[in-house]
C-alpha cells in the first residue's frame, strides 16, 4: 500500500536561511509525487509535482524538490526562506495507473523567525 512519511513535525528556521523538508514514500512502482502548502485557514496549494524525467523539479514560490528513487525520497528545498513561507507543508503520493487517490503525509509545520 502507498504511504508517505514526513519525519519532521515542526521545523523552525530563520528568515533568509535555507530549508529542506523531508519526505519518504512507499510505493511499488514509479509514483506521482507532490508537495502542497497550506496557510492557516486556507486550502492546499500545489507547489510542485514529479511524474518522470528530470529528478529535480522546480515549483512556485522558489521551491524545488528532488526525487531520489534509491532513497524513496522527495525532499523539498528552498535556498532562502521568507517570513511568508511559514505554513504547513504536505507531501503526497499518487499511483501512476488508474484513478488516483492522493495519500498525504502528516505534514510539517514551518515557523520562520525574523
Partner 1 sequence: DTAVSQTPKYLVTQMGNDKSIKCEQNLGHDTMYWYKQDSKKFLKIMFSYNNKELIINETVPNRFSPKSPDKAHLNLHINSLELGDSAVYFCASSQGPGGDGYTFGSGTRLTVV
Asked whether position 106 contacts partner 1 by CB under 8 A, the answer is yes
Q: Which is nearer to partner 1, 28 or 98 (CB)?
A: 98
Decide: 91 and 25 in contact? Cβ < 8 Å: yes
Asked whether position 59 contacts partner 1 by CB under 8 A, the answer is no
For the chain, where are the alpha helices, taking DSSP H only?
A: none
Q: Kindly state the smallest distance separating residue 69's Cβ from partner 1, in Å.
A: 18
Distance between start and end Cα atoms, the chain: 41
Asked whether position 111 contacts partner 1 by CB under 8 A, the answer is no
Q: What's the distance, CA 8 to chain centroid?
A: 12
- Applying CB under 8 A, among 1, 14, 28, 43 the residue interacting with partner 1 is 43
Q: Which is nearer to partner 1, 1 or 70 (CB)?
A: 1
Residue 57, helix vs strand vs coil: strand
> b/e map of 53-65 (b: 16 or more CB within 10 Å)?
eeeebebeeebbb
Q: Which residues bind partner 1 (CB under 8 A)?
A: 32, 34, 36, 38, 41-46, 49, 51, 88, 90, 94, 96, 98-104, 106-107, 109
Amino acid at each position: 500500500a502507498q504511504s508517505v512519511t514526513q519525519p519532521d513535525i515542526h521545523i523552525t528556521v530563520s528568515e533568509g536561511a535555507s530549508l529542506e523538508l523531508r519526505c519518504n514514500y512507499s510505493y511499488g512502482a514509479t509514483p506521482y509525487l507532490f508537495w502542497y502548502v497550506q496557510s492557516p485557514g486556507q486550502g492546499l496549494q500545489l507547489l510542485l509535482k514529479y511524474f518522470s524525467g528530470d529528478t529535480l523539479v522546480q515549483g512556485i514560490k522558489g521551491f524545488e524538490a528532488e526525487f531520489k528513487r534509491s532513497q524513496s525520497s522527495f525532499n523539498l528545498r528552498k535556498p532562502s526562506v521568507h517570513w511568508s513561507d511559514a505554513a504547513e507543508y504536505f507531501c503526497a503520493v499518487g499511483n501512476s495507473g488508474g484513478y488516483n487517490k492522493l495519500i498525504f503525509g502528516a505534514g510539517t509545520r514551518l515557523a520562520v523567525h525574523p
